[in-house]
Structure 1
């Protein structure tokens, strides 16, 4: 179970990097509405990754 949580955390980081890249490309083309939307998705997935690592740490603390 622990490994699944770590994998989901890494997948969330990869997805957030994808949206960050799209936001950067839209910033270069000066389409600010799309930049803000993609930054929002990027932060959403980064917060999911941080929460997954928090869950992993809590499960380790409870099992010890």
Structure 2
């Protein structure tokens, strides 16, 4: 590898890290906003909000035994 390739890889890694940190902050805000609704009189609204927030791939396909 040449020094230019290494420098470019470091710069790319820094940008990816910054993007990941920003996405994490956004996810934290979204999580707190969703669960703030859990304080409502009906807990069902909380379940609807949290279930709709999950991507379909993370839903369990069968119930635990």
Q: How many residues get paired?
A: 35
Is 1:60–2:33 an aligned residue pair?
yes
Report the structure number with the largest CA radius of gyration. 2
1:1-64 matches, within 5 Å, as: 31-64=4-37
Q: What is the Cα deviation at residue 39 of structure 1?
A: 0.4
- Deviation, 1:32, is 1.1
The normalised TM-score by structure 1 is 0.51
Provide, for residues 10-44 of structure 1, a one-character-per-residue CA deviation record: whole Å limited to 9, x for no partner.
xxxxxxxxxxxxxxxxxxxx811100001001100
Unaligned runs of 5+ in 2: 38-65
